[in-house]
Amino acid sequence: MNDDHQTKPIKTQVSIVDHVHRLIASLYRILGREIWELEYVGHPSIRARVYHLLRILTLTWQGLRRNMIPVQAAALTFYSMIGIGPLIAFAIMLSGFVIQKGNEELIIEGIAKAIAFAAPQIALDTDGPENGITELNPQILELITSFSQAAQSGTVGAIGALMLAFIGLQVLSSIESSFNSLWGVEQGRRVSERIVVYWTFVSLGAVLGSAALTMDMAAATRAYLGELPLGGNLANLILLISPLLSYLLLVVLLAVFFRFFPNTTVEWKPAFIGAGMVVLLLHVYKLLSFLYVRRVVDTNSLYGSVGIIIVLMLGLYVFWLLILLGGQVTYALQNADYLTNENAWQQTSIRSREIVSLAILLLVADRFQSENKPILTSELHKRLRVPSHILNACTNRLLELNYICTVDLPGDHESRDRAFNPSRPVEGITIGTFRKDFECYGNNEGVELLQKALPKVSAYLKELVQMGASQVAATPISELTERVEEPPEEDNA
């Protein structure tokens, strides 16, 4: 009897462990296979919607790991700290052309507000804000003022101004490179395109950012409005709607950033959703900043005047971490219905990239032979369901091998959504030549040296040559394109 009573708890524990193992296995099966099946893409059922959300979360998590977001945030923090002085000085110099002399305090105040928004630790008033106004750290104001005085002293000169512009351009280029890596884009913009895009965004950011941050500090205008007729009601209305307007302006600004900064096609809807999430997290981060007020004070006490730099680095790190998270979420939202499981594309072999490149070439050739408009990158993405970084790498390899070429399409067309045509007659491309060109791409002089060092390697190379001369290897690519079937049109009803 006692043995029976002792075995029952053991059996119960074993059954619980088995049940947990089955649940974990089921979860792995759902996340690794079921949510990526085509039958759940675009379906209106509740399960399909849940799977769509799981795909977004999975792609975001995989992207955070693959792109090493914390490391990239640290790198951008370092670049920002290096370029913050030249950027402030360059902004002060440019403002001299549009703002009357003597009003430089407006620019200094705007820059201070922007820095305080990115790093709310430096805007904390440890004695408690008065009248709802948060005081800026005097050390930051002193730092910005010193940069401003150096820029206005006239000692910078033309060469110094060019150096400041160059440093600012490099900082913005590093930001673009980080977002290009999120989208799997290997090639950045040309220098002329960068100048236009960066200048446009900085100008738009100055207008929208200043308006948003001014509304966010609308409590400072309450005393002035109180002296006007109906000023109290107007002040209350402004205080009521200013947080919402500030939020919307920042969302628009960040959505434009997510939309145009990466050198690829980004849709507006995922850009706005990602921007809304980031601005909300930034506001939560600002509201929770009181949790480390004492830490900021201790840091300043420990490091003295250098402590504000450490506090600023911490704030900028969290800021860039949230911005990169928003970019990764934007990528996941746009590609949730067009990708297979990205775990299947981690550390892809040369064979996998060769097959993807062949699939791209077949689709490009098939579109060309059917005399339709050239196929776009977005169409290749939807058809092949391959992650962006793999697709871009394979298209770039085909461009380098001179198998395909980019085509400029007339009319209203997104310039970053590249269109492709074959760059040589398809009838002259065989399976053997394609494989040989793909495998032998690059410098092969080392093979000849190795043959001299170890002649036995020549036998292996001869076998490869004989395999390349087989009847199957002589099959033209044009025959394979005849077997390519277009996918059925989606039923939008």
Question: Residue 491: its pLDDT value, please?
Answer: 46
Element (H, E) at 309: helix 307-335
Mean pLDDT by 10-residue block, N- to C-terminus, for the chain (493 residues)?
Answer: 55 66 72 67 75 85 87 89 73 58 63 74 52 57 70 61 75 86 79 77 68 57 56 62 79 89 86 93 80 58 63 84 93 79 70 88 88 86 82 88 86 70 85 82 76 75 67 69 54 40
Question: Residue 40: its pLDDT value, please?
Answer: 63
- CATH 1.10.10.10 for the 347-429+480-493 domain, yes or no: yes
Question: Residue 323: its pLDDT value, please?
Answer: 93
Cα separations (Å) of 192 from 169, 195, 407? 11, 5, 20
SS3 call for 56? helix
Smallest CA-to-CA distance from 258 within 244, 248, 273, 246 is with 273
Residue limits of CATH 1.10.10.10 in the chain: 347-429+480-493
Helices (H), 119-266: 138-152, 157-182, 191-216, 222-225, 231-260
